[in-house]
Amino acid sequence: MKKTRWALLTLLVLAVAAVVAGYYVSQKRNALLAPVKPALLPKELHSLANGWTWSHSAGDRPVVEARARDFRQIKDSSNFELSEVEFKIFNKTGDAYDLVQSQRADFDQENERLYSDGEVTIVLGLPPAGPQPGQRYVEIHTSGLTYDSKKAVSSTDRPVRFLLPQGEGSAVGAEYDSMSRRLWLKSEANLLGAPHPARGGERLHVRAGELFYHEVEQKVELRPWSSVERGAQGIKGTFSTVYLQDGDLKKVETLQGEGFDVRDGREVRFAGDMLEMNYGPNGAVTDAVSAGHARLVSSSAAGVNTITGGRVDLQFTLPPGALQSELAVAFVRDQARIENVVAAPPAGPRPDTRVLTADWVKVTMRPGGEEIQRLETLSAGRLEMLPNDAARWKRTLTAERLSADYGPGNRPESMHAVNKVHLRSDPPAGTRLEPRLTWSDNLEASFDPDTGQMGELHQWTNFRYQEGARQATAGGARFDVPQDRTLLQVAARVWDPGGVTTADTMTLDQKDNHFVAEGRVTSTHRESRPAGAASAPGPEAMFASNQPVHAVAQRMESWNGNRRIEYRGSARLWQEGSSVQAEEIRVDREARSLAAQGRVTNILVDGQDDKDKQKPRVVTILSDEMAYSDGNRRAFYTGNVRLVRDRMTVNSSELEAFLRPEGEAQSQGQSRLERATARGKVDIREAAAPGVAPRKAAADIAEYFSGEEKVILRGGRPQIEQAGRGSATGAELTYYLDDGRLQVSGRPGERAETHHQLKR
């Protein structure tokens, strides 16, 4: 019994051991066959997995689709750490998306916000099927990027580099709104376009402190400073807006800007409170506008042109085969001012600086765009010619319309003005000359192509002239500026306080102080002198100084400010009853003389008429030549001389006449002729008068005394004969004109004879 119990106990133990052994064998086998047990999750993680995806939709339209190779979810939060991230951000219509790629990123699922501290690549505007082969898209590279899915906005404050379909660029800090398709480059924006095939590979270069790109509107906003350049042309300013068309430049607007075209040793720069520049399909500038304190400066080796005004409109042209356009026309408005400074020539003085001002001016440029070809005011204008040589005159021209044409080198060729034309010429400083003022309806001028100085000036229709006290009018005038000579044409008239002259034409030679009047010349001269002053020398010395002296001729010529005058062609000087007439009359005021030749007729007042006291009695002297000297108040007549007085005529070879002192003749009302001496075959004839028989006399010399009304005959064998009274001869015969008295004197040893005719 006892042995049986131990046997059962042994079997039980063996059975238990077998079971235990089998269990351990089974456990060991199972352990070998079971998968490896994963490690415990870190305490800060909630989960860890591969192949993460996430999406967000608005109705049936996808907004965002995201995927990553793997993720780690932060414990007790909605944050995921993603690797090899790819975000698709769809536009409003869902027909394109922006792709964001990064090696590592943190995603806040609750706030739908992605942040990548490392490198990020963004590709904009991809089609739903993905990138197309050969197609370039906007590609942005940056780091520190945050994407807000709710706002569809990507942003960073770090450096950004991007590639464009037609260029590249960079900035510091950027923000992109995929819904509004707006890109904001926060600072140091720098864009460089692709080489332009139509412009020889030139690239568009845009820089700004801050840039906003509106893709839908094809518009770029630049601030607070900006620069848009392509080749030699560009525009700089503060706040600017760039408009694109099909990705190419269309228009640039800027505030406080400056545009420029700098190349080949020349510059064109324009500025204003607001600038606008437009571009054509070939990328060349077509036109531009500068408004508010507008300014354009064009400079080259030929000189500098400066244009200012309230507004400047510029038109550009693209010459055949050229890569860049050039300035062709500028319209300047609102107090327009154009200053033309010509470069100094190798030899000689610098040409005048010209300044044109008007409310509206059109400026046409020569080919090349840096030199003026034509200036034209479209309103009343003013042109100043400012000398750069102290010896030259300053000229100021005003008119309702002005225009000027220029040749190569900014040198003026011609100038035109119409309606209310006024030209003022101011003499060089330090001279005693008076300003010259002219007026007319029309004006044109030509300039010397070598010196740029005015050559000839022509004014016509209602012409007027003033220089100090001297004034003039005419149908027109031509000025030879270098020779300082003026030709007055058609009904010319010149006057000053001393007198007036009219003629068909007149020439004033200011340089030589020479004056010529031709064709139906008339002149009136009045001596101008202070009361009590001595009589001035002049032709009036033969006449009364307190009365005007008149003249007519076919030609009048004077020198030295009328100090010497010549009248030719039926010339005549007269004053009331006194006159000198001849083919030629010469007056020398310095020598105080007057000369005449060719059918000379001299009429002198010889007292008062016996019957009519208001009527002067005159003496007329005819001769071939006459010479008068005011020093001794002597007039000398030669050649076929004839003196005619009342009923008396005296013929002789020559005659010498002496005039009374001017004051004496005027105060006493006496004859201006004091006495006269005739010489050479003197023949005197007196016509009959009521109660007086005619007389005739002959001698070599005859003296006539006006005050005593007596005649003295001597020389040769003087004789006198009177009808009905006989005759007389003697060495000297004296007879009186008023009462017929006769005195006969003989020489020693020579008898005097008288013959009386007895009445029957």
Q: What is the pLDDT of residues 446-481, one digit of tens each?
A: 988 877 788 899 999 999 999 999 899 999 999 998
For the chain, what is the radius of gyration of the CA atoms? Answer: 57
Residue 25, pLDDT score: 44
Per-residue model confidence as pLDDT tens digits over 652-683: 999 999 887 766 654 444 557 788 999 999 99
Long-range contacts for 617-623 (Cβ within 8 Å, ≥24 apart)? 617/645, 617/646, 617/671, 618/577, 618/578, 618/645, 619/643, 619/644, 619/645, 619/671, 619/673, 619/676, 619/706, 620/644, 620/645, 621/655, 621/657, 621/676, 623/654, 623/655
Residue 667, pLDDT score: 45
Other beta carbons less than 10 A from residue 676's beta carbon: 26
Q: Is the pLDDT of residue 274 over 60?
A: yes
Nearest to 290 by CA among 307, 268, 274: 274
Pairwise pLDDT comparison (671 vs 522), residue with the higher score: 522
- Highest-confidence range of 27-41, 344-358, 468-482, 665-679, by mean pLDDT? 468-482
The pLDDT of 489-503, averaged and rounded, is 91
Of the candidate ranges 131-140, 552-561, 688-697, 706-715, the one whose mean pLDDT is the lowest: 688-697
Question: What tokens were used for 114?
Answer: 């992605």
Helix/strand/coil for 199: helix
Q: Is the pLDDT of residue 120 over 50?
A: yes
Question: What tokens were used for 88?
Answer: 């698709």
Buried b (16+ CB within 10 A) or exposed e, 740-758: eebebeeeeeeebeeeeee
pLDDT band at residue 407 using 50, 70 and 90 as cut-offs: confident
Other beta carbons less than 10 A from residue 434's beta carbon: 14
Per-residue model confidence as pLDDT tens digits over 214-224: 988 889 999 99
Per-residue model confidence as pLDDT tens digits over 189-199: 998 877 777 66
Pairwise pLDDT comparison (16 vs 547), residue with the higher score: 547
The whole-angstrom separation of Cα 627 and Cα 629 is: 7
User: Cβ contacts of residue 472 below 8 Å, gap of 6+?
Assistant: 463, 464, 465, 466, 488, 492, 493, 494, 495, 506, 508
H or E stretch covering 22: helix 2-33
Hey, what amino acid is at 734? T
Residue indicated by tokens 């990548």: 116
The whole-angstrom separation of Cα 328 and Cα 318 is: 9
Q: Which residues pair with 383 in a beta bridge?
A: 356, 397
Residue 19, pLDDT score: 38
pLDDT band at residue 5 using 50, 70 and 90 as cut-offs: very low
The pLDDT of 572-601, averaged and rounded, is 89
Say what percent of the chain tops pLDDT 70. 85
Say what percent of the chain tops pLDDT 90. 37
Hey, what amino acid is at 594? L
The gap between the terminal CA atoms of the chain, to the nearest Å, is 250
DSSP category for residue 10? H
Buried b (16+ CB within 10 A) or exposed e, 271-305: bbbbbbbbbbeebbbbbbbbbeebbbbbbbebbbb
Of the candidate ranges 181-195, 214-228, 726-740, the one whose mean pLDDT is the lowest: 726-740
Q: Is the pLDDT of residue 75 over 80?
A: no
Residue 690, pLDDT score: 75
Question: What tokens were used for 286?
Answer: 């077509």
CB contact at 8 A, 592 and 541: yes
Residue 51, pLDDT score: 79
The pLDDT of 241-265, averaged and rounded, is 86
The pLDDT of 596-616, averaged and rounded, is 75
Q: What's the mean per-residue pLDDT of the chain? A: 83
Q: Is the dihedral of CA 672, 677, 681, 682 positive or negative?
A: positive
pLDDT band at residue 301 using 50, 70 and 90 as cut-offs: confident
Per-residue model confidence as pLDDT tens digits over 322-333: 877 888 999 999
Residue 707, pLDDT score: 78
The whole-angstrom separation of Cα 178 and Cα 139 is: 14
Per-residue model confidence as pLDDT tens digits over 315-324: 999 888 887 7
Of the candidate ranges 131-145, 191-205, 240-254, the one whose mean pLDDT is the lowest: 191-205
Residue 610, pLDDT score: 55
Pairwise pLDDT comparison (561 vs 750), residue with the higher score: 561
Read off the pTM.
0.73
Pairwise pLDDT comparison (737 vs 365), residue with the higher score: 365
pLDDT band at residue 237 using 50, 70 and 90 as cut-offs: very high
Residue 22, pLDDT score: 46
pLDDT band at residue 646 using 50, 70 and 90 as cut-offs: confident
Q: Is the pLDDT of residue 200 over 70?
A: no
Pairwise pLDDT comparison (539 vs 201), residue with the higher score: 201
